[in-house]
Amino acid sequence: MVDRTSREFQSYVDLYQRASLLELGRLAHQARWRLHPENVVTYIIDRNINYTNVCVADCKFCAFYRRPKHGEGYVLSFEQIGRKIDELKALGGVQILIQGGHNPYIPFAWYLDLMRYIKRHHPIHIHGFSPSEVDFFAGRFGMSIETVIRELVAAGLDSIPGGGGEILVQEVRDRVAKKKAGAGSPTASSTCSACERSRRKAGASPPSSAGRCSPSTPSLRTSRRPTR
Ligand code: SF4
């Protein structure tokens, strides 16, 4: 836990505000050598795969997503994802980072099948799903965060990146990414109007708690649009 009132913390804030970028870089480099004196730097080759751009989170800074039913919305097929992995492997890649929008039209079984498909046909380290996606799955499918992660891992997920945070001050987060998982609550999904509509259509029961969607299973739409 960082004590933001401490002198040490304030000195870092002062430094951050007055130092030039190069000065900060030099100090970061020094800290790196202090913490890791070994003369070794490692890296891997991986590829980002965005399996869908359909999203109901409506983050204000995001130019990537498309609302449900938008003509440019897509969900990649397993085969398309597999081909991207093969291309990566041909270049020496060893990991994929697979992430997507908060797509209310994909059932949970699709994610599990995808993990199994990748491990069976295109085995590679799967670094996938931001915490906000995991939180979305929990709300959407009426599962606990722990169960979501356990099932994804059992199906083949190897690790979860720390994406989706953007900014952890809730007041600011409320302004730019209000519908994403809250900074303080790991399961605080917002009410999603698309989920609500599909829930009503399916005659499913109301969300079990405020802001959480029930696990109705609308059909999955796929397209063959290119992705970044
Ligand atoms: S959750 Fe991700 S894809 Fe969706 S709007 Fe926010 S940044 Fe974009």
pLDDT digits (tens, 9 = 90+) for 179-227: 887 766 554 433 333 344 444 444 444 333 333 333 333 333 333 343 3
Let me know whether 200 and 169 are in one domain.
Answer: yes
Over residues 154-169, the pLDDT tens digits come to 999 999 998 766 677 7
CA angle 79, 83, 88 (to 5 degrees): 150
Which amino acid is it at 58? D
Let me know whether 31 and 120 are in one domain.
Answer: no
> What pLDDT score was predicted for residue 227?
38
> What pLDDT score was predicted for residue 111?
98
Over residues 14-55, the pLDDT tens digits come to 999 999 999 999 999 999 999 999 888 889 999 999 999 999
Let me know whether 72 and 143 are in one domain.
Answer: yes
Q: From atom 7 of ligand 1, which residue's Cα is the shortest distance away? A: 62
Let me know whether 62 and 83 are in one domain.
Answer: yes
- Ligand 1 near 55 CB (within 6 A): yes
| Residue of 66, 111, 59 whose CA lies nearest to 220 | 111
- Ligand 1 near 138 CB (within 6 A): no
Residue of 48, 61, 64, 179 best suited for mutating to test ligand 1, as the one with most atoms within 8 Å of CB: 64
Spatial CB neighbours of 78, under 8 Å, sequence gap ≥ 6: 113, 114, 117, 118
Let me know whether 118 and 79 are in one domain.
Answer: yes
Over residues 92-151, the pLDDT tens digits come to 999 999 999 999 999 999 999 999 999 999 999 999 999 999 999 999 999 999 999 999
Count of beta carbons in the 10 Å neighbourhood of residue 195: 26
198: enclosing H helix or E strand = helix 193-202
- Ligand 1 near 75 CB (within 6 A): no
- Atom index in ligand 1 nearest the CA of residue 55 equals 4
Let me know whether 32 and 88 are in one domain.
Answer: no
Let me know whether 30 and 141 are in one domain.
Answer: no
Let me know whether 45 and 30 are in one domain.
Answer: no
The terminus-to-terminus CA distance of the chain in angstroms comes to: 37
Let me know whether 194 and 82 are in one domain.
Answer: yes
Structural domains in the chain (count): 2
Q: Kindly provide the b/e burial profile for residues 157-181, where b requires at least 16 CB atoms within 10 angstroms of the residue's own CB.
A: beebeeebeeeeeeeebeeebebbb
CATH number at residue 119: 3.20.20.70
Rounded-to-integer distance, Cα 43 and Cα 91, Å:
14
**pTM given for the model:** 0.70
Q: From atom 3 of ligand 1, which residue's Cα is the shortest distance away? A: 101
Q: Which domain holds residue 215?
A: 40-226
Let me know whether 101 and 13 are in one domain.
Answer: no
Let me know whether 33 and 115 are in one domain.
Answer: no
Let me know whether 120 and 202 are in one domain.
Answer: yes
